Each structure stands twice: as structure tokens, then as C-alpha cells.
Structure 1
Amino acid sequence: MMERPVRKHVRLKHYDYNQNGGYFITICTRGRIPLFREGDRLSAAGMIARACAEEISNHFPEIVVDLYCIMPDHVHFLFMAVGTPYMASVRSNPTISKVVQQYKAAVSRRIGRPVWQRSFYDHIIRNPTDLEETRRYIAQNPLKRMNSNG
């Protein structure tokens, strides 16, 4: 009998992912298959990923998509949760996991098959310098890739 690998928990244990703040998210395709780009252009699947990214704030008004970048085999997001901090009588922010889950489901549904790895990577934005560095990284990521491929 083959032993299943132990999954690493990638979320911070005691962090409330429904609080206001910035979140740098990376979601990868299953097997890191380069599904979203054909050369320097978005593929049909990439256009679906972009359309779904543009719709996130329609479904989650508490989430602002500050910036995103669609790479061949992954997508980067900078989400800003700007809703009302949790109070029992007021609707709170959705968790970042819920937003990512809905995005991944929408893209897979429109493409017609599952396309994502399980889970996602996150980094909580800690201060204004971190925010600017993250914005710069997301904006420059496609350029770095093009330059490294010749």
C-alpha cells in the first residue's frame, strides 16, 4: 500500500483571514501546465481566467482586486479586504479562502474541467513597503519571464 504524502498547511495558524487588509495570492494550475498563455498572448483559458478575475468584486464587494497577473501556469492576485470588520450583527468579509475557492470554481466551470492545484499560496501584506514591493513584483513578473526566456 502506497503511503499518501502529508500535506503541508500553508495558512497561518492563528490569523483571521476575514479581517481587513492586503493579501498576495498565487494560484497554480494542476501539474503547473502552461494553460493560460500562448507566447505573449492570453490563450482562450487565459481569457476566461481574466474575465473571472474582473468579476471577483462583483461577487464579493468587500474585496478589491488591487492588481492581478495571469502567467502561463499560475495567477497572482493582490486582494484588499475592505469590508466592515466582523460584528455579530453586520455581514463580515468573506475569507480569502472562500474568494479563491469561488474564483477557481468559476474558471474551471467555464473551461469545462478542473484546472487548479489544491490550495493556494498566500502572503499577508504587513506594511506599506510590503504593499509596494508586492505591487512591483506582480507588475514586473511577466516582464521577468519574457526576459529570462530570451
Structure 2
Amino acid sequence: MDTKSKRRSIRLPGYDYSRSGAYYVSICTKNRKCLFGDIVSQEMVLNDAERMVTTVWNELPQRFSNIELIEYVIMPNHIHAIIAIVGVPLVGTRKTVGDSPKRADTRPAPTARLGDIVGTFKSITTHEYIRGVKQHGWSPFLDFVFS
């Protein structure tokens, strides 16, 4: 059974998504199931799952030193966000001010591509959501939180 999505990619063919720049992303729950809250009187009513997603999102820069989280909004069944991939960090450099020379073995650190960042976010939130289903009775889902 093929479990891969049949959606057409809107990514630019051949583009390097590890390049510096700001990227707009939308990430939807599988089958657009409302897992993160409800809209009541045109306001988002948060739930514990939404708070978990917010925590995971805000911790991404601890995993990827070359990103900045510009803005995000979580809706009941999806998230919109702007992620900035910034300059390539260096491995082996000193964090001092002044004219101290760089070490001879300084090299660029591995940089995360946009897909790596989004994939990590999806993986962690799915794992944490499963924990919430088991421990706190959150609404169950099949397979994955995000599609």
C-alpha cells in the first residue's frame, strides 16, 4: 500500500532550500483534522496540543543554529510560519570580539535545509502528540499529526 502523499510539489525545481532567506511555510494536519483547538466567536481557543506545538516550534533554533523564527500562527488544523535561514555558522570559531585569528581548521557547519527543519518539527510534534494521547486523553489520530 502506497502511503506517500499524491500532492503536487510547489517547490521550485533545483532550488537550494538551504540558502539564506526567509521562507513562508504552511503545514497541515493529516486529513485537516482539528487537533490544536477550536475557533469560537472568531477567536482561536487554545488547547494543550496547541501549546505543545508552540513549544516545539520555539525550540527549533536550539536544534538548527542557522535559523530564525520570524512569525507563526497556529490554527486548529494547520500552522503558517516564516522561517529565516541565516548565514552559514562556522565550526571551530572563537566567540570573542577583536582581532583574534580564526583557527586553521574552521569550516562551515552543516546547514539545515528547509525540508530538514520542517521534517524535524513534524517528527517531534507527532511524538509529543502521541504522548499527549496516551497520558492526557488528547484526540487520537492515524499515522501522523501532519501530512
- Fold similarity call, TM over 0.5: yes
C-alpha RMSD of the superposition = 2.1
Report the Cα offset of residue 5 of structure 1. 8.3
Alignment partner, residue 145 of structure 2: 115
Alignment partner, residue 47 of structure 1: 51
Question: Percent identity at matched positions?
Answer: 28
Report the Cα offset of residue 92 of structure 1. 3.9
Aligned 8 A contact 1:84 1:90 in 2: yes
SS of the residue corresponding to residue 24 of structure 2 reads: strand
Structure-1 separation of matches of 2:109 and 2:119:
19
- Matched residues, number: 112
Alignment partner, residue 105 of structure 1: 123
Structure-1 separation of matches of 2:17 and 2:32:
26
Q: Structure 2 unaligned runs (5+)?
A: 91-106, 131-140
Q: Structure 1 unaligned runs (5+)?
A: 118-150
Aligned 8 A contact 2:66 2:89 in 1: no
Structure-1 separation of matches of 2:30 and 2:51:
18
- Whether 1:35 and 2:53 are equivalent positions in the alignment is no
Report the Cα offset of residue 9 of structure 1. 2.4
Alignment partner, residue 136 of structure 1: none
Structure-2 separation of matches of 1:5 and 1:27:
14
1:89-128 deviation per Cα after TM superposition (whole angstroms, max 9, x unaligned): 41242000000000000100001062111xxxxxxxxxxx
Q: Which structure has the greater CA radius of gyration?
A: 2
1:3-30 deviation per Cα after TM superposition (whole angstroms, max 9, x unaligned): x985412221021100100000000000
Question: Higher helix proportion, which one?
Answer: 1
Return the structure number with greater relative CO, CA threshold 8 A, min gap 6: 1
In structure 2, the CA distance between the partners of 1:18 and 1:85, relative to structure 1 (3 Å rule), is: farther
- Whether 1:26 and 2:56 are equivalent positions in the alignment is no
Structure-1 separation of matches of 2:72 and 2:58:
9
The two structures have a TM-score, normalised by structure 1, of 0.68
Aligned 8 A contact 1:83 1:93 in 2: no
Aligned 8 A contact 1:20 1:93 in 2: no
Instruction: Supply the AA of the counterpart residue of 1:74.
Output: H
The two structures have a TM-score, normalised by structure 2, of 0.69
**Equivalent residues in 2 for 1:71-150 (5 A)?**
71-84=75-88, 89-112=107-130, 114-117=144-147
Aligned 8 A contact 2:65 2:89 in 1: no
Structure-2 separation of matches of 1:7 and 1:32:
14
In structure 2, the CA distance between the partners of 1:51 and 1:85, relative to structure 1 (3 Å rule), is: closer
